[in-house]
Amino acid sequence: MTTTCVKRAFKYRFCPTDAQAAELSRTFGCVRKVYNLALAARTEAWAIRQERVNYNATSAMLTAWKKTEELAFLSEVSSVPLQQCLRHLQTGFTNFFGKRAKYPRFKSRKKSRKSAEYTTSGFRFNDGKLTLAKMAEPLAIVWSRPLPEGAKPSTVTVSQDAAGRWFVSMLCDDPGVKPLSTMDTAVGVDAGLEHLLTLSTGEKIANPRHEREDRARLALAQRRLARKAMGDGANRAKARRKVAKIHARIADRRRDCLHKLSTRLVRENQTIVIEDLTVRNMVKNRSLARAISDAAWSDFRSLLEYKAAWYGRNVIAVDRWFPSSKLCSTCGALQDKMPLRVRTWTCACGTMHDRDVNAAKNLLAAGLAVTVCGAGVRPQRSSPGRQSATKQKPSRREP
């Protein structure tokens, strides 16, 4: 029996030279331009002529655009990222008509992510040195961790974040990712705000509240940005980068914390039971929206699920309507009401419960019922990007 290697992305920072930074900036601009042109062409073709335009047609359009005087600058950068952005647009339309995403949007010069993807024909990787097309020198990558032995990237994505940091992401086969030995341990996980996670074992993991720690610095930087004159001035750009650096610091620390927690749970347990929370609805509560966003429950679930798939673990999501907090984990009695302010309560059977620990125990019991008898505690859940498309144009009738 042959086992397939897991495709894994390894992301590193790098410091480009002035020439490399200029070349990459031009590439980012050309990628955005081609994407917007192709999106406009596909939208117009269907809305006006009921004509279906696919990737092959947009690729032919790209060839024609390069021959025009107005868009001749597209020939000055590598053609690989331009073709890749057309493939990404095709994927976006496929997801839209499959009701998995919204209609593709145009890329903004100021707000869109700056990135370019290179396939094997657009880069060279020899002896740990990565050289992109149209560049004479390899990138000065900060190797924070080694690539798997003998790994050769299949795609390379170069990006620049709002804080001005440069990153390169290499997609490689990682033979080191293998299923872990089977265990007989299972744990229920209740997500919260006072404590980030509460386990059915009684352990409570504190909520780091990364955004709250930097809130004062962020507010000061945002006030200084607001006082700058609107436009593309250097002072406003500098103030904007300071705000972006604080946001990046918060996001990096949050991501590091969630990675460590998810890895630990996957390594220590065979089955992990969580609650199927609708975070997009919960953040509509103006009083708790900031705290819920800072907790990043959806990110934690995503990390947990893909790591469980890597290492042969099971993640079970219990129905969001399951009364985990109001149900006594000892006798099974259901309470009529359980306001959020109630953190401890005593059941009629005499058992005193901690609200979060009791909820985690009930989640674990419900999740184990799935593995034993197939009880339906996990509803059909749409992908995070799927929403109503009643206001989207053009019609979904286009294939």
**Coil/strand/helix, residue 398:** coil
Distance CA 356, CA 70 (A): 62
Our answer to whether residue 356 is catalytic in this structure is yes
What are 275's strand-pairing partners? 318
Inter-CA distances, 312 with 3, 39, 173, 267, 309, Å: 13, 40, 18, 10, 5
H helix intervals, the chain: 18-49, 55-66, 79-97, 210-213, 215-226, 234-268, 279-282, 289-295, 297-311, 355-373
How are beta strands 186-191 and 141-142 bridged, if at all? unpaired
Three-state SS annotation for 283-314: CCCCCCHHHHHHHCHHHHHHHHHHHHHHHCCE
H helix intervals, 98-162: none
CB of 210 closer than 8 Å to CB of 250 = yes
Residue carrying the six token digits 């799927």: 386
DSSP state letter for 270 = S
**Coil/strand/helix, residue 282:** helix
CB atoms within 10 A of CB 85: 24
Q: Which of 275, 336, 354, 398 is catalytic?
A: 275
Our answer to whether residue 190 is catalytic in this structure is yes
Structure tokens at 263: 């890895």
Our answer to whether residue 76 is catalytic in this structure is no
Distance CA 303, CA 166 (A): 24
Q: Which of 23, 117, 190, 294 is catalytic?
A: 190
Which sequence positions are flagged as catalytic? Answer: 190, 275, 356
